[in-house]
Structure 1
Amino acid sequence: MRRTSSASTIGARRPTTGDRRGDTLHEDALRAMLVDDPNNSRAFQALSEVVRRRAAEGTHADDPLSAPEDEHAKQRAADLAVWALGEELAGNPRAWYPLIELARLSLADDQDAAIRRLATAADRDPTGQALAEAIAVLREAGLPVEALGLGVGHWRAKEHTPEAGRQVVLAAVEADRLFDARHHLEILVTHPDTKAVAAIRGELDAQIAHLEQQITGT
């Protein structure tokens, strides 16, 4: 999704006489939570629903025959509202989750820009959680090669959460990179949290074994 002039304001809270006080207080509370922690995914999703609903309610069609077009307009308005919210929050140098959501929204329209946003999100988060979610976004979009490239470029095996390593290995499997999958699993098992690694190793071993069977035909 490319930025438009309307996207800069549509996601912002605009007090109106029609707003119910409870809704306004709820929205203000969510915004306050995101100011404190821009990576609060629950608060972001809840606020996204608020701005989506408002944007959709502001889009009307006078002609009943135009209902399909009206639904498309509502969806676009709702996406623009979330886009504006993401851009607003992504300005915080600590924010990585809003960048993940912006990338998700823009992936179909501008893959390169979306991947750059995912890379920036990964750079902003020393725990590896952002990297794990970024790789998952690309995998879900059917882009395992790009997901693997992002992982290889940003993964710090002993510092990041084991989930980041899990995502790297799964991306390698889905990209049919058997050697890479084995190699990254070997790196993952060096993580100091041996209990967490043990909990996910069985799944990864099974995925790699399945890939090997597909490649060798045995």
Structure 2
Amino acid sequence: MALLPRLRQLMRRPSSASKVGARRPTKTARRGDTLHEDALRSMLSDDPNNVRAFQALAEIVSRRAAGTGPDSDPLTAPADAVERQRAADLAVWSLAEELAGHPRAWYPLVELARLSANDDHEGTLRRLATAAERDPSGEALAGGLAVLRDAGQPGEALGLGIGHWRPREQTPEVGRHLVLAAIEAGRPLEAKQHLRTLDLFPDQAAIAGMRADLTHAVAQAEQQIAGT
């Protein structure tokens, strides 16, 4: 069962059902683990875009949901690897959804988009657009482009990037993703345009290596098309 239908199914269960990823007090839970989790939640309450804190907490809740954590109940743990992965993904989804309500949160939205990329096309694009609008640095936009490229959607990545990238102000990583997405979409001429747009980035010395790699990638793409 896909992630989003599975999530909706869980949400329709009676309130007495177990909550995926929620911390359950058990005699075997170690106090140190509890304090660590509470500290991570406090950090994310202050800064929902603290990537390291999010990833650490996501690992905790996903292990618990999959039945592999120190306080897991073997009687209720998922039976096979596929179910364990689904349970872990649902736990991370719940965490990201909780944090995404913060008006400055963009990283949780990128995580939600990653988890829904294969199940909810429109929702994925909406989450990534919102994330990009919330982050002036461009890190959210770069992360969103990576999600779409990883999902095999370079055309959607191009649409998102072109609509939001400010090359003078934002990370050049956005430009790198746009060039590569254009190559993956079979559009080497568009890739060259995005490569030229990197000229607007103020610190050209800092991106010299990136530009050289991208120039080589574009040239290879042009050669492949010319040879077909």
- Fold similarity call, TM over 0.5: yes
Aligned residue number for residue 188 of structure 2: 178
Cα deviation per residue 1:40-71 (whole Å; 9 max; x = unaligned)? 11111111111011112257569xxxx99533
Q: What is the rounded CA distance, in whole Å, between the counterparts of 1:92 and 1:18 in structure 2?
A: 33
Count of aligned pairs: 214
Q: Which amino acid letter does the alignment assign opposite residue 80 of structure 2?
A: D
1:112, distance to aligned residue in structure 2 (A): 1.8
1:15, distance to aligned residue in structure 2 (A): 3.7
Aligned residue number for residue 202 of structure 2: 192
Aligned residue number for residue 94 of structure 1: 104
- 1:30-69 matches, cutoff 5 A: 30-57=40-67
CA contact (8 A) 2:66 2:78 kept: no
Give the direction of change, closer, same or farther, for the CA distance of 1:68–1:42 in structure 2 (3 Å limit): closer
Q: What is the rounded CA distance, in whole Å, between the counterparts of 1:91 and 1:73 in structure 2?
A: 28
Indicate yes or no: 2:117 matched with 1:104: no
CA contact (8 A) 2:20 2:65 kept: yes
Indicate yes or no: 2:81 matched with 1:71: yes
Indicate yes or no: 2:222 matched with 1:212: yes
Q: What is the rounded CA distance, in whole Å, between the counterparts of 2:183 and 2:50 in structure 1?
A: 30
Gaps of 5+ in 2: 13-18
TM-score by length of 2: 0.86
Equivalent of 2:133 in 120, 123, 135: 123
Q: Which amino acid letter does the alignment assign opposite residue 4 of structure 1?
A: R
Q: What is the rounded CA distance, in whole Å, between the counterparts of 1:174 and 1:71 in structure 2?
A: 32
Q: Which amino acid letter does the alignment assign opposite residue 199 of structure 1?
A: G
Q: What is the rounded CA distance, in whole Å, between the counterparts of 2:11 and 2:102 in structure 1?
A: 18
Q: What is the rounded CA distance, in whole Å, between the counterparts of 2:129 and 2:29 in structure 1?
A: 38
Indicate yes or no: 2:33 matched with 1:23: yes
Q: Which amino acid letter does the alignment assign opposite residue 95 of structure 2?
A: L
Q: What is the rounded CA distance, in whole Å, between the counterparts of 2:41 and 2:179 in structure 1?
A: 36
Aligned residue number for residue 162 of structure 2: 152
1:5, distance to aligned residue in structure 2 (A): 6.4
1:213, distance to aligned residue in structure 2 (A): 0.2
Q: What is the rounded CA distance, in whole Å, between the counterparts of 2:152 and 2:180 in structure 1?
A: 12
Q: What is the rounded CA distance, in whole Å, between the counterparts of 2:195 and 2:150 in structure 1?
A: 21
1:120, distance to aligned residue in structure 2 (A): 1.0
More helix by share: 1
1:197, distance to aligned residue in structure 2 (A): 2.4
Percent identity over the alignment is 61
Aligned residue number for residue 4 of structure 1: 8
Indicate yes or no: 2:142 matched with 1:132: yes
TM-score by length of 1: 0.89
Q: Give the superposed CA RMSD.
A: 2.3
